[in-house]
Protein backbone atom coordinates (compact mmCIF):
# COMPACT_ATOMS: atom_id res chain seq x y z
CA UNK A 1 0.00 0.00 0.00
CA UNK A 2 1.44 3.36 -0.99
CA UNK A 3 2.02 5.91 1.76
CA UNK A 4 0.24 9.25 1.52
CA UNK A 5 2.99 11.81 1.98
CA UNK A 6 0.85 14.86 1.18
CA UNK A 7 1.25 17.96 3.29
CA UNK A 8 -2.45 17.74 4.31
CA UNK A 9 -1.78 14.40 5.97
CA UNK A 10 1.50 15.30 7.63
CA UNK A 11 0.13 18.55 9.07
CA UNK A 12 -3.13 17.07 10.42
CA UNK A 13 -3.30 17.24 14.25
CA UNK A 14 -2.49 13.93 15.89
CA UNK A 15 -5.36 12.04 17.50
CA UNK A 16 -3.35 9.90 19.94
CA UNK A 17 0.24 11.12 20.30
CA UNK A 18 0.38 13.98 22.76
CA UNK A 19 -3.25 13.53 23.84
CA UNK A 20 -4.59 12.55 27.27
CA UNK A 21 -6.24 9.17 26.85
CA UNK A 22 -7.86 7.04 29.57
CA UNK A 23 -6.11 3.77 30.44
CA UNK A 24 -8.35 0.80 29.74
CA UNK A 25 -7.34 -0.84 33.04
CA UNK A 26 -7.18 2.28 35.20
CA UNK A 27 -10.44 1.85 37.14
CA UNK A 28 -9.81 -1.71 38.33
CA UNK A 29 -6.24 -0.88 39.32
CA UNK A 30 -6.93 2.26 41.34
CA UNK A 31 -9.98 0.68 42.97
CA UNK A 32 -8.00 -2.38 44.08
CA UNK A 33 -10.18 -4.77 42.09
CA UNK A 34 -7.30 -5.98 39.91
CA UNK A 35 -6.04 -9.42 40.96
CA UNK A 36 -2.29 -10.09 41.01
CA UNK A 37 -0.72 -13.49 41.76
CA UNK A 38 0.30 -12.34 45.23
CA UNK A 39 -3.38 -11.72 46.02
CA UNK A 40 -4.32 -15.39 45.57
CA UNK A 41 -5.07 -17.46 48.66
CA UNK A 42 -6.09 -21.03 47.95
CA UNK A 43 -7.31 -23.55 50.56
CA UNK A 44 -4.42 -25.47 52.04
CA UNK A 45 -1.84 -23.25 50.31
CA UNK A 46 1.80 -23.48 51.47
CA UNK A 47 4.74 -21.18 50.86
CA UNK A 48 7.97 -21.70 48.95
CA UNK A 49 11.43 -20.20 49.28
CA UNK A 50 14.57 -20.59 47.15
CA UNK A 51 18.08 -21.24 48.45
CA UNK A 52 20.52 -19.19 46.40
CA UNK A 53 24.24 -19.37 45.80
CA UNK A 54 26.52 -17.08 47.83
CA UNK A 55 29.26 -17.50 45.19
CA UNK A 56 29.64 -15.87 41.79
CA UNK A 57 31.39 -18.93 40.35
CA UNK A 58 31.66 -22.35 42.00
CA UNK A 59 31.25 -26.06 41.46
CA UNK A 60 28.46 -27.75 43.40
CA UNK A 61 30.05 -30.77 45.02
CA UNK A 62 27.02 -31.95 47.01
CA UNK A 63 23.64 -30.87 48.36
CA UNK A 64 22.24 -32.47 51.54
CA UNK A 65 18.60 -31.61 52.27
CA UNK A 66 18.01 -34.12 55.09
CA UNK A 67 18.07 -31.57 57.92
CA UNK A 68 15.64 -29.30 56.09
CA UNK A 69 13.27 -32.17 55.37
CA UNK A 70 13.26 -33.11 59.06
CA UNK A 71 12.17 -29.62 60.19
CA UNK A 72 8.52 -29.65 61.38
CA UNK A 73 6.31 -27.80 58.93
CA UNK A 74 8.45 -28.54 55.86
CA UNK A 75 6.44 -30.43 53.25
CA UNK A 76 8.79 -30.71 50.26
CA UNK A 77 12.33 -29.93 49.17
CA UNK A 78 13.68 -29.98 45.60
CA UNK A 79 17.06 -29.61 43.91
CA UNK A 80 18.15 -29.95 40.29
CA UNK A 81 18.05 -33.72 40.70
CA UNK A 82 14.25 -33.48 40.86
CA UNK A 83 14.11 -32.19 37.27
CA UNK A 84 15.06 -33.84 33.97
CA UNK A 85 18.54 -32.80 32.87
CA UNK A 86 17.99 -30.94 29.62
CA UNK A 87 20.81 -31.29 27.08
CA UNK A 88 22.76 -28.33 25.78
CA UNK A 89 20.88 -27.13 22.72
CA UNK A 90 17.40 -28.06 23.97
CA UNK A 91 14.83 -25.55 22.70
CA UNK A 92 11.14 -24.75 22.54
CA UNK A 93 9.43 -23.20 19.50
CA UNK A 94 9.55 -19.42 19.90
CA UNK A 95 10.40 -16.83 17.27
CA UNK A 96 12.60 -17.67 14.31
CA UNK A 97 15.26 -19.68 16.15
CA UNK A 98 13.46 -21.12 19.18
CA UNK A 99 14.25 -20.45 22.85
CA UNK A 100 17.18 -22.02 24.67
CA UNK A 101 15.73 -24.28 27.35
CA UNK A 102 19.10 -25.40 28.72
CA UNK A 103 19.62 -21.76 29.61
CA UNK A 104 16.11 -21.41 31.12
CA UNK A 105 16.64 -24.51 33.26
CA UNK A 106 19.90 -23.08 34.64
CA UNK A 107 18.20 -19.76 35.43
CA UNK A 108 15.61 -21.59 37.51
CA UNK A 109 17.89 -24.02 39.35
CA UNK A 110 21.63 -24.63 39.02
CA UNK A 111 23.03 -28.04 38.15
CA UNK A 112 26.69 -28.98 38.79
CA UNK A 113 27.87 -25.35 38.84
CA UNK A 114 26.73 -21.84 39.80
CA UNK A 115 27.52 -18.86 37.60
CA UNK A 116 26.37 -15.85 39.65
CA UNK A 117 25.52 -14.82 43.19
CA UNK A 118 21.85 -15.54 43.76
CA UNK A 119 21.45 -18.44 41.32
CA UNK A 120 18.95 -20.91 42.87
CA UNK A 121 20.29 -24.29 44.00
CA UNK A 122 17.33 -25.68 46.00
CA UNK A 123 13.76 -24.88 47.04
CA UNK A 124 11.53 -25.58 50.03
CA UNK A 125 7.74 -25.66 50.56
CA UNK A 126 6.53 -25.21 54.12
CA UNK A 127 3.42 -24.30 56.08
CA UNK A 128 4.44 -20.65 56.30
CA UNK A 129 7.19 -18.41 54.89
CA UNK A 130 9.06 -18.32 58.21
CA UNK A 131 9.45 -22.10 58.39
CA UNK A 132 10.49 -22.15 54.73
CA UNK A 133 13.14 -19.51 55.42
CA UNK A 134 14.45 -21.46 58.41
CA UNK A 135 14.61 -24.62 56.33
CA UNK A 136 16.85 -22.95 53.75
CA UNK A 137 19.53 -22.51 56.41
CA UNK A 138 19.41 -26.28 57.06
CA UNK A 139 20.22 -27.23 53.46
CA UNK A 140 23.93 -28.05 53.34
CA UNK A 141 25.59 -27.20 50.03
CA UNK A 142 29.26 -28.00 49.48
CA UNK A 143 30.82 -25.60 46.98
CA UNK A 144 34.23 -25.45 45.38
CA UNK A 145 34.70 -21.73 44.74
CA UNK A 146 36.30 -20.72 41.42
CA UNK A 147 37.79 -17.44 40.22
CA UNK A 148 35.11 -15.12 38.85
CA UNK A 149 34.98 -12.73 35.88
CA UNK A 150 32.44 -10.08 36.77
CA UNK A 151 32.76 -7.70 33.84
CA UNK A 152 33.45 -7.78 30.11
CA UNK A 153 37.10 -6.81 30.33
CA UNK A 154 37.83 -9.47 32.96
CA UNK A 155 35.98 -12.14 30.96
CA UNK A 156 37.99 -11.34 27.80
CA UNK A 157 41.38 -11.25 29.52
CA UNK A 158 43.87 -13.94 28.39
CA UNK A 159 43.96 -15.47 31.88
CA UNK A 160 40.20 -15.25 32.49
CA UNK A 161 38.46 -18.18 34.18
CA UNK A 162 36.34 -20.05 31.63
CA UNK A 163 32.67 -20.19 32.64
CA UNK A 164 31.51 -22.94 30.25
CA UNK A 165 33.74 -25.67 28.88
CA UNK A 166 31.36 -26.33 25.97
CA UNK A 167 31.41 -22.74 24.67
CA UNK A 168 33.72 -22.18 21.70
CA UNK A 169 33.50 -18.87 19.86
CA UNK A 170 31.14 -19.08 16.89
CA UNK A 171 31.56 -16.91 13.82
CA UNK A 172 35.36 -17.08 13.73
CA UNK A 173 37.29 -18.87 10.99
CA UNK A 174 39.12 -21.09 11.54
CA UNK A 175 36.96 -22.00 14.51
CA UNK A 176 38.94 -21.98 17.77
CA UNK A 177 39.61 -25.25 19.56
CA UNK A 178 39.64 -23.96 23.12
CA UNK A 179 36.69 -22.95 25.28
CA UNK A 180 36.16 -19.21 25.66
CA UNK A 181 33.98 -16.64 27.38
CA UNK A 182 33.41 -15.04 23.97
CA UNK A 183 30.42 -17.05 22.81
CA UNK A 184 29.98 -15.64 19.32
CA UNK A 185 31.18 -13.07 16.81
CA UNK A 186 28.62 -11.44 14.52
CA UNK A 187 29.51 -9.27 11.50
CA UNK A 188 27.26 -6.98 9.46
CA UNK A 189 29.14 -5.33 6.63
CA UNK A 190 28.57 -3.45 3.39
CA UNK A 191 30.99 -1.43 1.25
CA UNK A 192 34.45 -0.29 2.35
CA UNK A 193 34.34 1.66 5.61
CA UNK A 194 38.11 2.02 5.91
CA UNK A 195 38.41 3.79 2.59
CA UNK A 196 35.29 5.90 3.22
CA UNK A 197 36.48 7.06 6.64
CA UNK A 198 39.95 7.95 5.36
CA UNK A 199 38.39 10.19 2.70
CA UNK A 200 35.67 11.73 4.89
CA UNK A 201 35.61 15.47 5.55
CA UNK A 202 34.88 14.84 9.22
CA UNK A 203 34.90 11.82 11.53
CA UNK A 204 33.95 11.24 15.14
CA UNK A 205 34.34 8.36 17.58
CA UNK A 206 32.41 7.51 20.72
CA UNK A 207 33.46 4.93 23.30
CA UNK A 208 30.76 4.11 25.83
CA UNK A 209 30.49 1.76 28.78
CA UNK A 210 26.96 0.80 29.79
CA UNK A 211 26.46 -1.09 33.04
CA UNK A 212 23.83 -3.74 33.60
CA UNK A 213 20.59 -2.26 34.95
CA UNK A 214 17.56 -4.08 36.28
CA UNK A 215 14.17 -3.46 34.69
CA UNK A 216 12.93 -2.28 38.09
CA UNK A 217 9.31 -3.39 37.83
CA UNK A 218 7.29 -2.75 41.00
CA UNK A 219 5.89 -6.28 41.28
CA UNK A 220 8.52 -9.00 41.83
CA UNK A 221 8.12 -12.46 40.34
CA UNK A 222 5.18 -14.30 41.90
CA UNK A 223 3.66 -17.68 41.09
CA UNK A 224 0.94 -19.88 42.56
CA UNK A 225 0.85 -23.51 41.43
CA UNK A 226 -1.75 -26.19 42.10
CA UNK A 227 -1.77 -29.84 41.01
CA UNK A 228 -5.03 -31.80 41.28
CA UNK A 229 -5.54 -35.50 41.99
CA UNK A 230 -5.31 -36.33 38.28
CA UNK A 231 -1.93 -34.60 37.96
CA UNK A 232 -3.30 -31.55 36.11
CA UNK A 233 -1.28 -28.44 36.97
CA UNK A 234 -2.68 -24.91 37.06
CA UNK A 235 -0.25 -22.02 37.36
CA UNK A 236 -1.22 -18.42 38.13
CA UNK A 237 1.70 -16.23 37.12
CA UNK A 238 2.92 -12.71 36.57
CA UNK A 239 4.19 -13.19 33.03
CA UNK A 240 4.58 -11.43 29.71
CA UNK A 241 3.69 -14.58 27.77
CA UNK A 242 1.10 -17.15 28.81
CA UNK A 243 1.91 -19.71 26.14
CA UNK A 244 5.66 -19.19 26.38
CA UNK A 245 5.39 -19.88 30.11
CA UNK A 246 3.41 -23.05 29.42
CA UNK A 247 6.03 -24.28 26.96
CA UNK A 248 8.89 -23.59 29.35
CA UNK A 249 7.27 -25.23 32.37
CA UNK A 250 6.27 -28.30 30.35
CA UNK A 251 9.78 -28.68 28.94
CA UNK A 252 11.48 -28.30 32.32
CA UNK A 253 9.18 -30.86 33.95
CA UNK A 254 8.75 -33.18 30.95
CA UNK A 255 5.03 -32.60 31.43
CA UNK A 256 2.51 -33.02 28.58
CA UNK A 257 0.97 -29.71 27.54
CA UNK A 258 -2.46 -31.29 28.03
CA UNK A 259 -1.65 -31.55 31.75
CA UNK A 260 -0.86 -27.86 32.24
CA UNK A 261 -2.69 -24.53 32.17
CA UNK A 262 -1.14 -21.12 32.83
CA UNK A 263 -3.43 -18.30 33.93
CA UNK A 264 -1.79 -14.89 33.46
CA UNK A 265 -3.04 -12.42 36.05
CA UNK A 266 -2.41 -8.67 36.30
CA UNK A 267 1.26 -7.81 35.91
CA UNK A 268 2.92 -5.06 37.88
CA UNK A 269 5.52 -4.30 35.22
CA UNK A 270 7.81 -6.53 33.24
CA UNK A 271 9.51 -4.60 30.41
CA UNK A 272 11.12 -7.79 29.08
CA UNK A 273 12.14 -9.26 32.43
CA UNK A 274 9.14 -11.59 32.70
CA UNK A 275 9.42 -13.42 29.39
CA UNK A 276 11.46 -16.34 30.73
CA UNK A 277 10.19 -18.27 33.74
CA UNK A 278 11.73 -17.68 37.15
CA UNK A 279 10.53 -20.26 39.65
CA UNK A 280 7.27 -21.32 37.97
CA UNK A 281 8.48 -24.85 37.22
CA UNK A 282 9.89 -25.13 40.74
CA UNK A 283 6.53 -24.20 42.26
CA UNK A 284 4.81 -26.86 40.16
CA UNK A 285 7.32 -29.53 41.19
CA UNK A 286 6.88 -28.62 44.86
CA UNK A 287 3.09 -28.78 44.45
CA UNK A 288 3.42 -32.21 42.87
CA UNK A 289 5.48 -33.45 45.81
CA UNK A 290 3.47 -32.02 48.70
CA UNK A 291 0.00 -32.26 47.06
CA UNK A 292 -0.84 -28.73 48.19
CA UNK A 293 -1.09 -25.40 46.34
CA UNK A 294 2.27 -23.58 46.50
CA UNK A 295 2.93 -19.83 46.43
CA UNK A 296 6.39 -18.49 45.63
CA UNK A 297 7.02 -14.75 46.05
CA UNK A 298 10.41 -13.21 45.37
CA UNK A 299 11.63 -10.50 47.73
CA UNK A 300 12.95 -7.25 46.31
CA UNK A 301 16.45 -8.29 47.35
CA UNK A 302 16.11 -11.60 45.50
CA UNK A 303 14.83 -9.85 42.40
CA UNK A 304 17.73 -7.40 42.26
CA UNK A 305 20.51 -9.73 43.45
CA UNK A 306 20.52 -12.55 40.97
CA UNK A 307 16.89 -13.59 41.08
CA UNK A 308 15.90 -12.16 37.71
CA UNK A 309 17.84 -10.97 34.70
CA UNK A 310 18.84 -7.34 34.18
CA UNK A 311 19.40 -5.60 30.86
CA UNK A 312 22.74 -6.29 29.22
CA UNK A 313 25.77 -4.15 29.91
CA UNK A 314 27.95 -3.26 26.95
CA UNK A 315 31.21 -1.80 25.74
CA UNK A 316 30.55 -0.05 22.43
CA UNK A 317 32.87 1.88 20.10
CA UNK A 318 31.31 3.78 17.20
CA UNK A 319 33.13 5.71 14.45
CA UNK A 320 31.19 7.72 11.88
CA UNK A 321 32.26 9.82 8.91
CA UNK A 322 30.55 12.36 6.68
CA UNK A 323 31.11 14.81 3.82
CA UNK A 324 31.02 18.58 4.39
CA UNK A 325 27.31 18.71 3.58
CA UNK A 326 26.57 16.14 6.30
CA UNK A 327 26.08 13.17 3.99
CA UNK A 328 27.09 10.05 5.93
CA UNK A 329 29.75 7.95 4.21
CA UNK A 330 30.61 5.29 6.81
CA UNK A 331 29.62 3.75 10.13
CA UNK A 332 31.96 1.42 12.01
CA UNK A 333 31.02 -0.21 15.27
CA UNK A 334 32.38 -2.74 17.75
CA UNK A 335 29.85 -4.08 20.24
CA UNK A 336 30.81 -6.20 23.26
CA UNK A 337 27.64 -7.38 24.97
CA UNK A 338 27.51 -8.70 28.55
CA UNK A 339 25.29 -11.80 28.46
CA UNK A 340 25.64 -12.56 32.16
CA UNK A 341 26.32 -16.09 33.36
CA UNK A 342 24.81 -18.04 30.46
CA UNK A 343 25.52 -17.78 26.71
CA UNK A 344 23.12 -16.85 23.95
CA UNK A 345 22.56 -13.08 24.22
CA UNK A 346 23.56 -12.48 20.59
CA UNK A 347 24.40 -8.89 19.60
CA UNK A 348 22.68 -8.92 16.19
CA UNK A 349 19.57 -6.96 17.22
CA UNK A 350 21.64 -4.39 19.06
CA UNK A 351 23.86 -3.91 16.02
CA UNK A 352 20.91 -3.55 13.68
CA UNK A 353 19.21 -1.03 15.96
CA UNK A 354 22.41 0.97 16.16
CA UNK A 355 22.64 1.79 12.46
CA UNK A 356 19.08 1.36 11.22
CA UNK A 357 18.10 5.00 11.70
CA UNK A 358 20.54 6.34 9.13
CA UNK A 359 21.19 6.13 5.42
CA UNK A 360 24.80 5.12 4.91
CA UNK A 361 26.49 3.29 2.01
CA UNK A 362 29.35 1.77 4.05
CA UNK A 363 28.86 -0.28 7.20
CA UNK A 364 31.14 -2.49 9.26
CA UNK A 365 29.60 -3.67 12.52
CA UNK A 366 31.20 -6.39 14.65
CA UNK A 367 29.53 -7.77 17.78
CA UNK A 368 30.53 -10.18 20.55
CA UNK A 369 28.39 -12.16 23.02
CA UNK A 370 30.40 -12.47 26.24
CA UNK A 371 29.58 -14.40 29.42
CA UNK A 372 30.39 -13.00 32.86
CA UNK A 373 29.64 -14.11 36.42
CA UNK A 374 26.50 -12.03 36.69
CA UNK A 375 22.80 -12.92 36.35
CA UNK A 376 21.79 -13.93 32.83
CA UNK A 377 20.69 -10.78 31.06
CA UNK A 378 17.23 -10.42 29.57
CA UNK A 379 15.30 -7.94 27.46
CA UNK A 380 14.56 -4.42 28.70
CA UNK A 381 12.24 -2.47 26.40
CA UNK A 382 13.97 -3.94 23.36
CA UNK A 383 16.96 -6.27 23.71
CA UNK A 384 19.97 -3.97 23.43
CA UNK A 385 18.24 -1.21 21.48
CA UNK A 386 18.62 1.45 24.17
CA UNK A 387 22.32 0.71 24.61
CA UNK A 388 22.84 0.83 20.84
CA UNK A 389 21.02 4.10 20.31
CA UNK A 390 22.88 5.74 23.17
CA UNK A 391 26.27 4.90 21.70
CA UNK A 392 25.34 5.82 18.14
CA UNK A 393 23.76 9.15 19.05
CA UNK A 394 26.84 10.14 21.07
CA UNK A 395 28.93 9.60 17.95
CA UNK A 396 26.46 11.50 15.77
CA UNK A 397 26.40 14.46 18.16
CA UNK A 398 30.19 14.60 18.06
CA UNK A 399 30.10 14.45 14.25
CA UNK A 400 27.63 17.36 14.14
CA UNK A 401 30.06 19.42 16.24
CA UNK A 402 32.87 18.65 13.78
CA UNK A 403 30.63 19.70 10.88
CA UNK A 404 29.17 22.71 12.73
CA UNK A 405 25.67 21.44 11.93
CA UNK A 406 22.48 21.55 13.94
CA UNK A 407 22.04 17.99 15.33
CA UNK A 408 18.29 17.97 14.68
CA UNK A 409 18.62 19.22 11.10
CA UNK A 410 21.35 16.64 10.51
CA UNK A 411 19.17 13.78 11.74
CA UNK A 412 16.10 14.91 9.84
CA UNK A 413 18.07 14.99 6.59
CA UNK A 414 20.00 11.75 7.12
CA UNK A 415 17.26 9.54 8.51
CA UNK A 416 16.44 6.27 6.84
CA UNK A 417 13.66 6.51 4.24
CA UNK A 418 11.60 3.67 2.84
CA UNK A 419 12.79 4.52 -0.65
CA UNK A 420 16.42 4.07 0.40
CA UNK A 421 18.42 0.85 0.39
CA UNK A 422 17.94 -0.50 3.92
CA UNK A 423 21.00 -1.62 5.89
CA UNK A 424 19.10 -4.68 7.03
CA UNK A 425 16.28 -6.88 5.80
CA UNK A 426 13.41 -5.14 7.59
CA UNK A 427 12.96 -1.39 8.02
CA UNK A 428 11.89 -0.31 11.48
CA UNK A 429 8.47 1.24 11.85
CA UNK A 430 10.15 4.04 13.80
CA UNK A 431 11.42 5.51 10.55
CA UNK A 432 8.01 6.75 9.48
CA UNK A 433 7.68 10.42 8.70
CA UNK A 434 5.06 10.89 11.41
CA UNK A 435 7.48 9.74 14.13
CA UNK A 436 10.21 12.06 12.81
CA UNK A 437 7.77 14.98 12.67
CA UNK A 438 6.58 14.28 16.20
CA UNK A 439 10.12 14.13 17.56
CA UNK A 440 11.17 17.28 15.74
CA UNK A 441 8.16 19.26 16.97
CA UNK A 442 8.76 18.20 20.56
CA UNK A 443 12.46 19.06 20.52
CA UNK A 444 11.97 22.44 18.88
CA UNK A 445 9.40 23.31 21.53
CA UNK A 446 11.95 22.78 24.30
CA UNK A 447 13.19 26.09 25.68
CA UNK A 448 16.78 24.88 25.93
CA UNK A 449 17.13 23.75 22.30
CA UNK A 450 18.02 27.13 20.79
CA UNK A 451 19.48 28.81 23.88
CA UNK A 452 21.72 27.54 26.66
CA UNK A 453 20.23 26.67 30.05
CA UNK A 454 20.94 29.48 32.48
CA UNK A 455 23.12 29.18 35.56
CA UNK A 456 21.35 27.41 38.38
CA UNK A 457 18.59 25.95 36.16
CA UNK A 458 18.07 22.26 35.58
Query: What contacts 24+ positions apart, CB below 8 Å, involve 22-27?
Result: 25/266
> What is the structure's pLDDT at 431?
47
132's torsion region: left (phi>0), alpha (psi -120 to 50) or beta?
alpha
Describe the crossing of helices 407-414 and 433-445 by its angle, rounded to 10 degrees. 170
Report the relative pairing of strands 363-371 and 328-340 from DSSP bridges.
parallel
> What is the structure's pLDDT at 454?
63
Kindly tell me if the per-residue pLDDT of 320 is higher than 70. Answer: yes
Neighbouring C-beta atoms of residue 33, cutoff 10 Å:
9
The size of the chain, in residues, is 458
> What is the structure's pLDDT at 264?
96
> What is the structure's pLDDT at 345?
87
Residue range 273-318, pLDDT digits in tens: 999 999 999 999 999 999 999 999 999 999 998 888 899 999 999 9
> What is the structure's pLDDT at 425?
45
Which carries the bigger pLDDT value, residue 422 or residue 131? 131
Give the pLDDT band of residue 7 (cuts 50, 70, 90). very low
Parse the chain into domains and list their residue ranges: 37-146+222-297, 182-212+310-444
Distance between CA atoms of residues 126 and 141, nearest Å = 20
Distance between CA atoms of residues 238 and 78, nearest Å = 22
> What is the structure's pLDDT at 366?
97
> What is the structure's pLDDT at 183?
97
Residue range 366-410, pLDDT digits in tens: 999 999 999 999 989 877 888 999 999 999 999 999 999 999 889
In sequence order, what DSSP letters do the residues of 86-141 get, joined into one string? Answer: PPTT-EE--TTT-EEHHHHHHHHS-BSEE-STT-EEEEEEESSHHHHHHHHTT-EE
> What is the structure's pLDDT at 457?
52
> What is the structure's pLDDT at 443?
74
> What is the structure's pLDDT at 421?
58
Q: Select, from the ranges 131-140, 356-365, 447-456, the one with the highest average predicted confidence (pLDDT).
A: 131-140
> What is the structure's pLDDT at 430?
46
Whole-number average pLDDT of the chain: 90
Q: Which residues pair with 366 in a beta bridge?
A: 187, 334
Give the pLDDT band of residue 429 (cuts 50, 70, 90). very low
Kindly tell me if the per-residue pLDDT of 445 is higher than 90. Answer: no
User: Span 37-146+222-297: which CATH code?
Assistant: 3.90.1170.50
Averaged pLDDT for residues 35-52: 97
Averaged pLDDT for residues 189-217: 96
Kindly tell me if the per-residue pLDDT of 53 is higher than 80. Answer: yes
Q: Which residues pair with 346 in a beta bridge?
A: none
Averaged pLDDT for residues 207-221: 94
Kindly tell me if the per-residue pLDDT of 456 is higher than 70. Answer: no
Give the pLDDT band of residue 424 (cuts 50, 70, 90). low
pTM reported for the whole predicted model: 0.90
- As to burial, measured by CB atoms within 10 angstroms (0-12 exposed, 13-18 middle, 19+ buried), residue 91 is middle
Residue range 54-97, pLDDT digits in tens: 999 999 999 999 999 999 999 999 999 999 999 999 999 988 78
Domains 37-146+222-297 and 182-212+310-444 equal at CATH topology level: no
Q: What angle do CA 272, 242, 343 make, to 5 degrees?
A: 45
Q: What percent of the chain has pLDDT over 70?
A: 89
Averaged pLDDT for residues 109-124: 98
CATH class held by domain 182-212+310-444: alpha beta
Amino acid sequence: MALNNSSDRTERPLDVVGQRLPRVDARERVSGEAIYPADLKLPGMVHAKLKRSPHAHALIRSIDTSRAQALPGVLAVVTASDFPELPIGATIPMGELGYDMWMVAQINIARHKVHWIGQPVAAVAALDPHIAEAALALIDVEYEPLPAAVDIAAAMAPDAPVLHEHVVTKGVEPRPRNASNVCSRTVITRGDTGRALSGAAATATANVKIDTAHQGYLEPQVVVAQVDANGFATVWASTQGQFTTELMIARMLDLPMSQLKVVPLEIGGGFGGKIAIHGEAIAVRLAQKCRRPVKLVFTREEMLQGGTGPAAGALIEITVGAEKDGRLVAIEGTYRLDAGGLPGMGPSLLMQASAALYQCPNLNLVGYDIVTNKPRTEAYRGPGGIQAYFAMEQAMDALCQRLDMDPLDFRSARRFRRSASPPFSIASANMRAGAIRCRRAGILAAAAWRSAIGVGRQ
